[in-house]
Amino acid sequence: MTPQTSSVPPIVLRRIGVYCGGNDGARPGYVALARSLGQALAQRGIGLVYGGGRTGLMGAMADAALAAGGEVVGVMPHGLVEREVAHHELTHLHIVDSMHERKAMMASLADAFITLPGGIGTLEEFFETWTWAQLGVHRKPMGLLDVDGFWEPLLAMLSHMDGEGFLRGNPRAWLLHDQHVERLLAALEQFVAPEVRTWARLAET
């Protein structure tokens, strides 16, 4: 069944929340992708909201955005700041009490979300935000920015879950996927949120 389209106009992207790894990863393409995204956001006048770290993909992305004159907002819990992984040269660094508060603040500050390669923390943030969309907590688009086929296994798993009947209501309608930064940003700008379906209606399908 094709999801109905909402009459709400596309969202104006003032800031984009990005989830990504605090490590460089095993391939140089990961860091290059993070830098490309940070630079592209700054060039488009879109602020970056991220986890506030100075290492790995997070640091590379933030540094690229700052070097291009962009706004970079970090959100980090006290415990991680005390481990000296916080980036203290950002436009603004919000220090919060918990990981839960971090995710909530990032969600409130961002108009859309992009997930780059990362580990289990990155996946946890991605899935929670995607679940919120399915439940109608927000109506913001989400994108997977890919490189070297990093997200292909996840997409295959999602297709398997869908085929087995565990993805009711077509939550994939909220999720965009591309390997090109500019193309993904353009798709996010053109996104129109699908109708949010209640669990009672989902049970009828």
DSSP state, residue 192? -
Residues sharing a CB contact under 8 Å with residue 150, sequence separation 6 or more, in sequence order: 30, 117
d(CA 40, CA 130): 23
Helix axes 28-43, 181-190, angle to 10 degrees: 50
pLDDT of residue 137: 86
pLDDT at 173: 74
- CA dist 13 and 32 (Å) reads 23
Architecture of domain 15-204: 3-Layer(aba) Sandwich (3.40)
Q: What is the mean pLDDT of residues 174-195?
A: 90
Q: What is the pLDDT of residues 18-73, one digit of tens each?
A: 999 999 999 999 999 999 999 999 999 999 999 999 999 999 999 999 999 999 99
pLDDT of residue 3: 42
Q: Where are the domains of the chain?
A: 15-204
Closest to 145 (Cα-Cα) out of 177, 112, 123:
177
